[in-house]
């Protein structure tokens, strides 16, 4: 069963009151309040206070709330964690993660702040942003560094700069990194989140990239514009025919199991375990996505 969806994680600048107050109305699975790249050094304290106040007072309707804190190499990350944990944040996203020790360092700080704030141990989850060649090489070690960690995410701009290249419409410069990150995430049992697509005017290119990363196995995508949200959700939703077929496979598997049959056949074709598992995931995804299930018979 899919416990939660992270098809879309909407970045919101932490220093913009108009955007911080109600980004949930656009329907993202998660909101990422950004205290890092979108906030100038002179505005760090003000942004932190704004996000703290919003988290403490605004009802985001059950949408997952994530904060991208400042990096471990900055003077702001400790106060970011302290304030966000006390404000009730659900997930802390660590930028520029390069090693398992980075995750363990932030975990120790989060644990201390949970205790100080009277929050249940383990209630704050972690997400790691991988932004360099070293981070990609260490993806599995990062993904398994903490039981709190729920996802690893590719952050492309810093990565391609480190690789001495640039973003392209084809995405060839990211193919190796994407593949390594998805494999590491699957091996570790956590989610894989793809990077943002910054050219919001290029709808065709955006949809092409969404379809690519979905096919590669990513659980979702970071987005920077609310208009990108329905595009991603539509791309990740099973079609009516896919859902119908998946439900038939799941029903046939249940029937075979109840009868003690070791061999499963549907429409004259043998159905093996991986096909059943994929069908169950389609059904779970459709249910989590709010798709309507029509009654049907085999």
Q: What digits encode the pLDDT tens for the residues 111-168?
A: 999 999 999 999 999 999 999 999 999 999 999 999 999 999 999 999 999 999 999 9
The residue-averaged pLDDT of 269-291 equals 84
The residue-averaged pLDDT of 249-267 equals 82
Per residue in 234-255, pLDDT (tens digit) is 999 888 898 988 899 988 888 8
pTM: 0.89
pLDDT of residue 255: 81
pLDDT of residue 297: 41
The larger pLDDT score, comparing residue 238 to residue 197, is at: 197
The residue-averaged pLDDT of 258-264 equals 77
Per residue in 46-86, pLDDT (tens digit) is 999 999 999 999 999 999 999 999 999 999 999 999 999 99
pLDDT of residue 3: 59
pLDDT of residue 65: 98
Mean pLDDT of the chain: 93
Asked if residue 224 lies in contact with residue 202, where contact means CB atoms within 8 angstroms, the answer is no
pLDDT of residue 298: 43
User: Domains of the chain (ranges plus CATH)?
Assistant: 8-236 (3.20.20.60), 240-288 (no CATH)
């Amino acid at each position: 069963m899919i416990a939660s969806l992270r098809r879309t994680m909407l970045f919101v600048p932490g220093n913009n009151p108009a955007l911080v107050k109600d980004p949930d109305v656009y329907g993202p699975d998660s909101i990422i309040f950004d205290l890092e790249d979108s906030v100038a050094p002179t505005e760090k304290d003000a942004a932190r206070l704004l996000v703290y106040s919003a988290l403490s007072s605004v009802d985001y309707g059950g949408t997952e709330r994530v904060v991208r804190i400042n990096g471990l190499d900055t003077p702001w990350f400790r106060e970011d964690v302290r304030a966000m944990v006390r404000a009730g944040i659900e997930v802390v996203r660590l930028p520029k993660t390069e090693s398992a020790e980075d995750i363990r360092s932030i975990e120790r700080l989060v644990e201390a702040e949970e205790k100080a704030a009277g929050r249940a141990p383990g209630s704050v989850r972690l997400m790691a942003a991988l932004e360099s060649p070293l981070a990609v090489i260490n993806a599995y070690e990062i993904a398994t560094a903490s039981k709190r960690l729920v996802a690893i995410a590719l952050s492309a701009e810093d990565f391609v700069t480190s690789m001495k290249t640039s973003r392209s419409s084809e995405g060839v410069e990211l193919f190796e990194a994407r593949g390594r990150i998805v494999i590491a995430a699957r091996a570790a049992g956590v989610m894989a989140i793809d990077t943002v697509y910054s050219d919001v005017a290029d709808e065709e290119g955006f949809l092409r990239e969404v379809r690519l990363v979905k096919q590669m196995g990513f659980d979702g995508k970071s987005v920077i514009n609310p208009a990108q949200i329905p595009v991603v959700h539509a791309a990740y939703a099973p079609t009516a025919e896919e859902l119908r077929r998946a439900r038939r496979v799941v029903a046939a598997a249940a029937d075979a199991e109840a009868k003690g049959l070791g061999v499963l056949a549907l429409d004259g074709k043998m159905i093996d375990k991986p096909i059943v598992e994929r069908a169950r995931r389609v059904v779970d995804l459709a249910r989590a996505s709010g798709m309507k299930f029509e009654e049907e018979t085999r």
